């Protein structure tokens, strides 16, 4: 039986978590390790030299207080042993992770951590903002997971970034696009004159060049982008002279 580790960045109350557990349990033994609370936007951050409280809430289901998504995958892999996990699946995220979202996304960070450990990994996101229904995404994730598991060696150390629209027409393997954000800093000053700030981010649009993930999802297809772990720009290595 396949052994599947599930994590996310939306926490134990994430709306896409339980539909994903339900579907993936049909094809293997599922282990769940997720943050206790919402951890979106934490990217691939990990907690160094800090103890994090781990709570078992059900059989093979753990939550980590203040744990990042990557922390959760690390705990899961070392707790259940790396060579016993066949697939890491992160999600289902409540909104798309397209283009440069993959840099910021905790959903993708969790999956990438699995890939770094040599395990095929999927980052699964609903392709609409603030999705309210996840059954279709969970079923699609199961179908894709089954295909990956049948070719485990081919997908070893690979992170697939997956975005699933409602009523999808099919699946396309595509490169990342570019998203455009409305970003600004909001500040507040307390009675003592101390300032605090938060980053305000709103999604505006995407650069929909033909065939990228933004364009593919906009046309109603599931986008799958294989992400490589080595970010070296090999062309520039040959060109840079300092």
Render pLDDT for 54-66 as a digit per residue (tens, 0 to 9). 999 999 999 999 9
Confidence of residue 204 (pLDDT cuts 50, 70, 90): low
What integer pLDDT is reported at residue 49 of this predicted model? Answer: 84
Q: Which residues contact 218 (CB under 8 A, 6 or more apart)?
A: 206, 208
In this structure, how many other beta carbons lie within 10 angstroms of the beta carbon of residue 115? 24
Confidence of residue 196 (pLDDT cuts 50, 70, 90): confident
CA distance 42 to 59: 27
What integer pLDDT is reported at residue 193 of this predicted model? Answer: 76
Note whether 105 and 112 are within 8 A (CB).
no
Of 220, 217, 5, which Cα lies nearest the Cα of 111?
A: 5
Render pLDDT for 105-128 as a digit per residue (tens, 0 to 9). 999 999 999 999 999 999 999 998
Counting other chains too, the contacts that 146-150 makes at CB distance below 8 Å and 24 or more residues apart are: 146/27, 148/87, 148/120, 148/122, 149/2, 149/27, 149/28, 149/86, 149/87, 149/120
pLDDT exceeds 60 at position 215: yes
Average of per-residue pLDDT values in the chain: 92
Task: At 96, list the tokens.
Answer: 């798309």
What integer pLDDT is reported at residue 39 of this predicted model? Answer: 96
Render pLDDT for 85-103 as a digit per residue (tens, 0 to 9). 999 999 999 999 999 999 9
What integer pLDDT is reported at residue 199 of this predicted model? Answer: 64
Render pLDDT for 26-79 as a digit per residue (tens, 0 to 9). 999 999 999 999 999 999 999 998 899 999 999 999 999 999 999 999 999 999
Higher pLDDT, 180 or 217: 217
């Amino acid at each position: 039986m396949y052994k599947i580790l599930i994590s996310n960045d939306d926490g134990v109350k994430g709306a896409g978590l339980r539909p994903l557990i339900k579907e993936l349990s049909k094809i293997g033994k599922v282990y769940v390790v997720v943050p206790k609370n919402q951890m979106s936007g934490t990217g691939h951050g990990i907690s160094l030299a800090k103890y994090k409280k781990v709570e078992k809430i059900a059989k093979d289901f753990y939550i980590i207080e203040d744990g990042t998504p990557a922390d959760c995958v690390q705990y899961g892999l070392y707790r259940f042993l790396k060579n016993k996990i066949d697939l890491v699946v992160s999600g289902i995220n409540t909104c798309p992770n397209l283009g440069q979202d993959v840099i910021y996304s905790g959903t993708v960070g969790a999956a990438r951590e699995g890939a770094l450990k040599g395990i095929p990994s999927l980052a699964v996101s609903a392709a609409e903002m603030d999705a309210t229904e996840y059954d279709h995404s969970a079923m699609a994730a199961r179908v894709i997971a089954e295909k990956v598991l049948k070719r485990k060696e081919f997908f070893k150390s690979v992170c697939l970034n997956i975005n699933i629209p409602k009523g999808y027409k099919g699946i396309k393997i595509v490169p990342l696009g570019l998203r455009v954000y409305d970003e600004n800093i909001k500040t507040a000053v307390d009675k003592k004159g101390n300032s605090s700030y938060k980053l305000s981010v709103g999604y505006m649009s995407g650069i929909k060049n033909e065939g990228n993930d933004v364009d593919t999802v906009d046309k109603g297809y599931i986008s799958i982008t294989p992400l490589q772990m080595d970010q070296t720009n090999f062309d520039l290595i040959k060109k840079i002279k300092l």
